[in-house]
Amino acid sequence: MSAGVTSSTHRDLRARTDVHDLVVAFYREIVLDDLLAPIFGEVAEVDWAVHIPRLIDYWCRVLFGEASYTGTILGPHQAVNDLAPFSGEMFGRWNALWTDAIDRRWAGPVAEQAKTHAARISGALSRRLNGAVPS
């Protein structure tokens, strides 16, 4: 589905429960991805019980203005990058998986906002951490 196209079978992201479903679906793909799974599992050693609720809070702040998330994005990513530098390909894959997770179930202005924001984040982090451009 291309940007700006709303499918008649998909509804927009409307509530925290939608964001929960999106984040969980997305990270299910991450843990199965040959490129990204080692970063999350072996390098960052992500505690999913902590990480998932935090990301739900983050995306609810971004998409719905909820004040549930506090923190920074750069710091944790910098710590992981210091252990094993990210590549532009990793940021590109992360963004592609995020976009696919959205497009499978949601369409509309908020879904588009989630994709646009994710692309902006992946590009900014890629440039800030190592000068790489997402591919």
Domain range list for the chain: 16-130
Which of these, 39, 20, 21, lies nearest to 87 by C-alpha position? 39
CB proximity list for 128: less than 8 A, separation 6 or greater: 74
pLDDT over 80 (residue 133): no
Rounded Cα–Cα distance for residues 108 and 11 (Å)? 7
Q: Show the DSSP H helices in the chain as ranges.
A: 16-32, 37-38, 48-64, 74-83, 88-105, 109-130
- Model confidence at 117, in pLDDT bands (50, 70, 90)? very high
Q: What is the pLDDT of residue 6?
A: 45
Per-residue pLDDT of 11-66, as tens digits, reads: 999 999 999 999 999 999 999 999 999 999 999 999 999 999 999 999 999 999 99
Class of residue 69 by CB neighbours under 10 A (exposed 0-12, middle 13-18, buried 19+): middle
How much is the pTM?
0.88
CB of 19 within 8 A of CB of 60? yes
Q: Which CATH architecture has domain 16-130?
A: Orthogonal Bundle (1.10)
